[in-house]
Structure 1
Amino acid sequence: MPVPFPVSPTRLALAVSLAFPLCPVLAQTTPPEAQLDAVTVTADRRAEPIKNVPMAVSTLSGEKLDVITSGGQDVRALAARVPSLNIESSFGRAFPRFYIRGYGNTDFRLNASQPVSLVYDDVVQENPILKGFPIFDLEQVEVLRGPQGTLFGRNSPAGVVKFDSVKPTRAVEGYGSVSWATYNTVNTEGAVNTPIGEAWSARLSFLNQRRSDYVQNTAPDAPSPKLEGYNDSALRGQLLYQPHKDFSALFNLHGRDLDGSARVFRANIIQPGTNDLVAGFDPRKVSQDGRNESTLLTRGGSARLRWGLGDYALHSITGFESLRTYNRGDIDGGTPGDVPFSVETADGIPTLRQITQEVRVESLYSGPLNWQAGAYYFHEKYDMESFSYDSTAGGVENGHSLSTQKNDAWAGFGSVSYAVDPKLKLRGGLRYTHDKKEFATREYFATGFRPTIADIGQLTASPSSSKVSWDLGSTYALNTDTNVYARLANGFRAASVQGPGQFNDISDAKPETNTSIEAGIKADLFDKKGRIAFNVFYYQVKDQQLTAVGGAGNGNVLLNAEKTTGQGAELDFQAYLTNQLLVSVGGSYNKTRIRDADLAVSTCGGCTVTDPTNAGGQALIDGNPLPQAPKWTASFTAKYTIPTDAGEWYAYTDWSYRSKVNFFLYESAEFTGKSLLEGGLRLGYTWGDGKYDLALFGRNITNQVRVTGGVDFNNLTGFINEPRTLGAQFRATF
């Protein structure tokens, strides 16, 4: 029977949202007065209430994290869950690319640097492959927006995403969770915590996410007949030694093992002259003659020591990371009849070692003045390999390069805070960083252009950078519930280098600096039943490092824009509207612009470029927004509970939205991604004082299909978002 009006995703989202306040009150017991839990963050390297921090900070924890990962989602599921955060990848579950306030890096090379730093348990994860470590058994995720170049090192001019694991305690406790969903998606995780003797405690956490291949490759004799499956496992062990209150040592060992599909590129899925999918597009079918596979193995550890020295505390954080990865895909996305020429490539890191060391002293004065100071060292060395294959000849290797990058950096930093009076607090920080990279291409061969290493002019590069970054902030208490703040900050990203290929020479980019100003208000509302944060900001990046990816020239070239700008506003709101209805709303507006009258890049083959071009046919990108920078993002969650004598029924919905984005530096009709709205719904029951939870859930419940990225050198190839999944989950705590 036909419906009288079309059921669009937007209408469905509105209907689900409005249904929550209208649910009947069926409670058999009177619930206690609801209040929000206090939120503590470590954005200033000290634990303090989020309201007192003079910067834009958002957090995700507890149920929100559990819900968005229940269907086997990886770190990309955090996109748009807090204001101004976007995450995407052309590698699938590996190599996430983070953007804050539209500011990120689309570079797909394995030594790409990013202006958003990821810090996992106080250790910087610099290589983009390391940034994809799974989400499980986390205390909290903090998103620090704007330059963080004073207290957090390693390339953080856009901001920091900070993951903090649940730490060992003196209790015997833990949890276990298992879910099953569409495409035989199974998500299993858990943790066990126990004290050991008088001074030791241990916590072991694990995760396994798996999904069956569900995309059929219809090409005859396809080397990879089924695609999009994965088996992703991670393990974390922590050991805490705390003989007394003035000393603690927290040791961490962790690892990840991923085996599955690389990103599935789909040839000619965009209608020429539009950004619509072609008629009859089937997300469960492709036709490719290339091989597809992705493997990743990471191992790491850390030691975090703290000494209490009366009015001072001394911290030492030592980190070690290693990885091995190989990722191969049919980049043209089709078969010879579908594409102008065949392109099948792979990238790998056979060895990577990262060592970090930080020593920091902080004061613990009871008076108005406090400070902290420290030193930081970073060392990284790894090999990178790139391969090309002839899909039409059974996948025979026809190109290979091997390069090595070594990166050493050190920094000295300090910050001061001073309470002028009980209402006004001032903060300031300073950091000096020296960074040096050594890059060398050691092996190279290819059939066609520049077939041997002797044909390449430049084989090495050694960019070096030294920079001072700083920040100034203030917080003023209007009353006991409301603070206003202002912040002026500067951050920097060190010089970068990219290796040569068949179509381009070595390229490098000089350092970039970001100067940002923001002001906002943070308040507790309705007698602690609500919380709001709102801010406005403006930033300007000098010499921003951009990556001209692909184009008809099939290159990957680093360049600097004279400057880029961004401005906007951000909102975080959470409140109990009734004792049984908890809602949260987040949103952001970001307007970014590239400002460089002479900057030109190669454009796509066979697409409709809307930018003006120069005499050489390159697009002039002055005035364009940054790539993968949505102007609008929004998130919404609502949970309605119905208490009973034995437990609690609940309904939970969550939605994330981003407006359209450019995939590349130039603008074109085809490679402009449409807006994306994804929603989830969860219906469940908890009992046993909250120890047990059984729920039915759906992710991307409107089944919205969108192109989220593309390949532009060959044809109208793109890749799409995650499919709708429906499933059930059981969780138990003890």
Structure 2
Amino acid sequence: MSLGMSMNPAAPPADISSMYEPSVMDESISQDFLQLLPKASLKYEWADGTFAYLSAAKGYKSGGYNIQMSADVMQNRMQYDIMQKFSPQLAVEPSPVKEVMAYKPETSWSYEAGIRSGLFDNRLTAELTFFYMDISDIQLTKFTASGNGRIIANAGKAESYGTELSLHARLADGLTANANYGYTHATFRNYDNGREDFKGKRIPYTPAHTLSLGLQYTKLWHNAAIDQFTASAWCNGAGQIYWTEQNTLSQPFYGLLNLKAGIRKGIVSLNLWGRNLTDTGYSVFYFETSDNAFMQAGRPLQVGAEVVVTF
């Protein structure tokens, strides 16, 4: 029985660059923006610290360019030129450079109606607001077709409406409480990317509910070992948050409990704090790269201490 083996050095890859003309791109794009932003409001106050108001205003976000798309644009052009030479029936002409790299301004009209009142000798302040927004050419952050980065793109028309409630109370000397709640229903009215129709879908990264509850206590002393003691507890919540236009991935409502306590003597303060004390698991960001999807987790339970010197 005998075994034999022979090895030959691999031939260098063939150089085909001489078989087609080099790709050449000479593009120039520009945009000019000029916008008038009118605003009108009406306020009626019938008691000290108690009033109602109406307002209407035009909003505007400037257009711009996705400079990071330059490499993708050049690569698509080279691929097209090569396919035109060897398989013209499979060549797909790239989209115009302006369509890929530029995005238009976003405009909106927002309308608000609200009431604010001070109750119980202004120990309790309450404010209730209703709002509606009509948005055109809404700007969204999207992932590139290659999966290597993100861009800003326009996504047709959208609307957003909801309400916000805010309460602030002085419970006792040095003790205050705050409560804030917001509800937002933000959806696409007219958005079709040529493959899918997103009409009625929720706008990504816009929480349907936001909540903030807080309690603060401050005590001052004179000619004592310490000048001030402070303690606070607050809970922040948000959700449901959709991550994509398809509304297939989302973060349910979650809440984070935080505490902080500290003392101060002169210009030196010592604080102890804890964040996300219930160690709640939640996601703060979603992204895609190279055909893979990832969720960025929020910060877990954290505790710490700090010394602050104020000059």
TM-score range, shorter chain: 0.7 to 0.9
Correspondences of 1:25-174 after superposition (within 5 Å): none
Letter in 2 for 1:483: F
Correspondences of 1:610-621 after superposition (within 5 Å): 618-621=195-198
Between Structure 1 and Structure 2, whose CA radius of gyration is higher? Answer: 2
- The yes-or-no answer on 1:712 pairing with 2:280 is no
TM-score (norm 1): 0.33
For residue 261 of structure 2, what is the aligned residue in structure 1?
683
For residue 723 of structure 1, what is the aligned residue in structure 2?
300
For residue 658 of structure 1, what is the aligned residue in structure 2?
238
Q: Tell me, in whole angstroms, the C-alpha distance in 1 between the residues paired with 2:220 and 2:139.
A: 54
Q: Tell me, in whole angstroms, the C-alpha distance in 2 between the residues paired with 1:598 and 1:696.
A: 51
Secondary structure of 1:466's partner? coil
Q: 1:474 to 1:550 in 2, by over 3 A?
A: same
For residue 627 of structure 1, what is the aligned residue in structure 2?
204
Q: 1:481 to 1:462 in 2, by over 3 A?
A: same
Q: 1:524 to 1:692 in 2, by over 3 A?
A: farther
Query: Cα deviation per residue 1:295-344 (whole Å; 9 max; x = unaligned)?
Result: xxxxxxxxxxxxxxxxxxxxxxxxxxxxxxxxxxxxxxxxxxxxxxxxxx
Query: Cα deviation per residue 1:230-268 (whole Å; 9 max; x = unaligned)?
Result: xxxxxxxxxxxxxxxxxxxxxxxxxxxxxxxxxxxxxxx
Correspondences of 1:543-554 after superposition (within 5 Å): 543-550=137-144
- The yes-or-no answer on 1:532 pairing with 2:126 is yes
Q: By how many angstroms is 1:467 displaced? A: 2.5
Correspondences of 1:367-516 after superposition (within 5 Å): 455=23, 459-498=27-66, 499-500=69-70, 501=72, 502=75, 506=97, 507=100, 508-516=102-110
As a proportion of its length, which structure holds more helix?
2
Q: Is the 8 A contact 1:550 1:712 kept in 2?
A: no
Q: By how many angstroms is 1:554 displaced? A: 5.7
Q: Is the 8 A contact 1:550 1:711 kept in 2?
A: no
Q: 1:716 to 1:523 in 2, by over 3 A?
A: same
For residue 162 of structure 2, what is the aligned residue in structure 1?
568
Q: By how many angstroms is 1:532 displaced? A: 2.5
Letter in 2 for 1:465: F
Q: Tell me, in whole angstroms, the C-alpha distance in 2 between the residues paired with 1:548 and 1:661.
A: 16
Secondary structure of 1:712's partner? strand
Q: Tell me, in whole angstroms, the C-alpha distance in 1 between the residues paired with 2:245 and 2:23.
A: 30
Q: Tell me, in whole angstroms, the C-alpha distance in 2 between the residues paired with 1:728 and 1:588.
A: 32
**% same residue:** 25
For residue 363 of structure 1, what is the aligned residue in structure 2?
none
Letter in 2 for 1:462: S
Q: 1:692 to 1:546 in 2, by over 3 A?
A: closer
Query: Cα deviation per residue 1:586-610 (whole Å; 9 max; x = unaligned)?
Result: 121110011115334xxxxxxxxxx
Select 2:270's aligned residue among 672, 691, 694: 694
Query: Cα deviation per residue 1:102-159 (whole Å; 9 max; x = unaligned)?
Result: xxxxxxxxxxxxxxxxxxxxxxxxxxxxxxxxxxxxxxxxxxxxxxxxxxxxxxxxxx
Q: By how many angstroms is 1:550 displaced? A: 4.0
Q: By how many angstroms is 1:557 displaced? A: 5.7
For residue 10 of structure 2, what is the aligned residue in structure 1?
none
Q: Tell me, in whole angstroms, the C-alpha distance in 1 between the residues paired with 2:152 and 2:220.
A: 58
Gaps of 5+ in 1: 1-453, 601-617
Q: Is the 8 A contact 2:160 2:186 kept in 1?
A: yes
Letter in 1 for 2:293: L
Query: Cα deviation per residue 1:483-538 (whole Å; 9 max; x = unaligned)?
Result: 21110111222332323414675322333210011011223333243333221000
TM-score (norm 2): 0.73
Q: Tell me, in whole angstroms, the C-alpha distance in 2 between the residues paired with 1:462 and 1:644.
A: 63
Q: Tell me, in whole angstroms, the C-alpha distance in 2 between the residues paired with 1:723 and 1:459.
A: 48
Q: By how many angstroms is 1:649 displaced? A: 4.0
Bigger RCO of structures 1 and 2 (CA < 8 A, at least 6 apart): 1
- Counting matched residue pairs gives 260
Q: By how many angstroms is 1:620 displaced? A: 2.6
For residue 214 of structure 2, what is the aligned residue in structure 1?
637
Q: 1:580 to 1:621 in 2, by over 3 A?
A: same
Correspondences of 1:233-244 after superposition (within 5 Å): none
Q: 1:598 to 1:643 in 2, by over 3 A?
A: closer
* Aligned-residue CA RMSD (Å): 2.8
Q: Tell me, in whole angstroms, the C-alpha distance in 1 between the residues paired with 2:269 and 2:120.
A: 30
Letter in 2 for 1:674: P
Q: Is the 8 A contact 2:233 2:259 kept in 1?
A: yes
Letter in 2 for 1:478: W
Q: Is the 8 A contact 1:682 1:696 kept in 2?
A: yes
Secondary structure of 1:716's partner? strand
For residue 132 of structure 1, what is the aligned residue in structure 2?
none
